[in-house]
Amino acid sequence: MYVVVNRITVAEGKAIEFEAGFAASMRDHLPGVPGLVRSTLLKPSSDEDPYLSTMEFQDASAFHSWVKSDSFKAAHDVALDTTTASTIEIYEMAQEVSAG
């Protein structure tokens, strides 16, 4: 599993607008992306912390193909004036334990 984490700092007073816009972009542009297993937007419990957007891909190749796709371009075409910073981190799954 190839996991991409985007730490997104949202401007003060813009959280509701950010969540709505980001969620709409996820719904509009992520369904059907080859190799995408799951995508989440995690809301911080403290206003000082960033939002986390996670995307889990089957492998690195699926992620890199998405970055070159029309879906990626469309998802990032809309400039949100709700964010002040963004940092991308990439991980490979080392271990997973299911609760079931």
pLDDT digits (tens, 9 = 90+) for 15-58: 999 999 999 999 999 999 999 999 999 999 998 999 999 999 99
Domain count, the chain: 1
Residue 20 belongs to some domain of the structure: yes
Residue 33 belongs to some domain of the structure: yes
Identify the H or E element spanning 27: helix 15-29
Residue 38 belongs to some domain of the structure: yes
Residue 36: give its domain's CATH number: 3.30.70.100
Q: Tell which wins on pLDDT, 79 or 55.
A: 55
Q: Which domain holds residue 77?
A: 2-92
Residue 60 belongs to some domain of the structure: yes
Question: Who contacts 7 (Cβ-Cβ below 8 Å, separation ≥6)?
Answer: 50, 51, 52, 85, 86, 87, 89
**pTM of the predicted model, to two decimals?**
0.88
Other beta carbons within 10 Å of 100: 2
Q: Report the range of poorest mean pLDDT among 13-22, 46-55, 65-74, 75-84.
A: 75-84
Residue 29 belongs to some domain of the structure: yes
